[in-house]
Chains A and B, each alone.
Chain A
Amino acid sequence: MIGPTTILIAVIVISMALIAFLVIRPSVTGTRGGKILAFISLFIFPILAGSMGAAEHVEHSKTTEFCLSCHVMTDYGQSLRVGDKGSIPAVHFQNHLVPPDQACYTCHTDYAMYGDVRAKLRGLRHVYVQYAGKVPETVKLYTPYNNRECLHCHLGAKSFEEGVVHNQDPETLPKIKSNQLSCTTSGCHEVVHNVKSLREATRLKEVAK
């Protein structure tokens, strides 16, 4: 099946071929057909290629590979591959409970109206900090992790709605659903990107060598 990237590459190549023809033979623009060709090649096609390219870049920025391409995210990428069954990110990633090729984006975009836009703007800020600022040693979330991001998938699921611990106290479920009781910091699902112990384990391994 032809994907959007293939179509975009085809548009770029066709644009370049048409423009190259005009650059080599500018005299063709003397005719009515040549003027139309010039307008299509120098205006319509580049705008089409540019818009499609921007969309492709935005789509590509959602991939796990893209997020982990920055050095500061290396440990977070490793935390997706640890064998700890209590690690929320690792369990979700390894069991494909989130799309593995969009693992970071799936959990770290907020599922509100402008969540995608906010995530992209923050991404641009991260690039700015990478090149012009100081990258912090420990990456912190801008705001405490909202249960909404978990409930985007878990709400209505039998395992969540009928879970024993979730129903021990009749107030627990409503509190989770209203984000009053955090899934991650209330002591229930607290192992999230345990980068500190991962770094320590790596350090001990290196010492042992």
Chain B
Amino acid sequence: MTLQKLGLKGRLQISGLLIIAGLLVELVTLKWSHPTAFLFFLLLGGSLMGAGILFYLYSLLTAGQTVLPGDQK
């Protein structure tokens, strides 16, 4: 399935899931008192959240370019 075929709602769901995963990593690392926790937070949590946010912004920017049946519901 290509990104174009996903539709805006599908893309929002993907960004949402990525951000939730990043937030979960953040939540776990907050309770872990070890330097590795900071690395996990930064590299894993930060990447997931960053990817989710960027994908959401990308979806907004490209939303007007293609109107798909899934978006008209």
Residues of A within 8 A of B (CB): 5, 8-9, 12, 15-16, 19-20, 22-23, 26-27, 29-30, 38, 41-43, 46-47, 49-50, 53-54, 56-57, 60-61, 63, 65-66, 69-70, 123, 126-127, 130
- Please report whether the interface of chain B is mostly helix, strand, loop or mixed according to DSSP: helix
CA distance A26 to B10 in the complex (A): 8
CA distance A56 to B38 in the complex (A): 10
- Please report whether the interface of chain A is mostly helix, strand, loop or mixed according to DSSP: helix
Residues of B within 8 A of A (CB): 8-10, 12-13, 15-17, 19-20, 22-24, 26-27, 29-30, 33-39, 41-42, 45-46, 49, 52-53, 56-57, 73
CA distance A60 to B9 in the complex (A): 38
CA distance A46 to B49 in the complex (A): 7
16 more CB-based (< 8 A) A-B contacts, given A29-B8, A47-B53: A12-B26, A19-B16, A19-B20, A22-B12, A26-B13, A46-B22, A46-B49, A46-B52, A50-B26, A53-B41, A57-B30, A61-B35, A65-B33, A66-B33, A69-B33, A127-B39
| Contact partners of A123 in chain B: CB under 8 A | 35
A17 to chain B: closest residue by CB: B20
Given contacts A60-B33, A69-B35, is CB(A49)–CB(B23) below 8 Å?
yes
Given contacts A27-B9, A29-B8, is CB(A12)–CB(B34) below 8 Å?
no
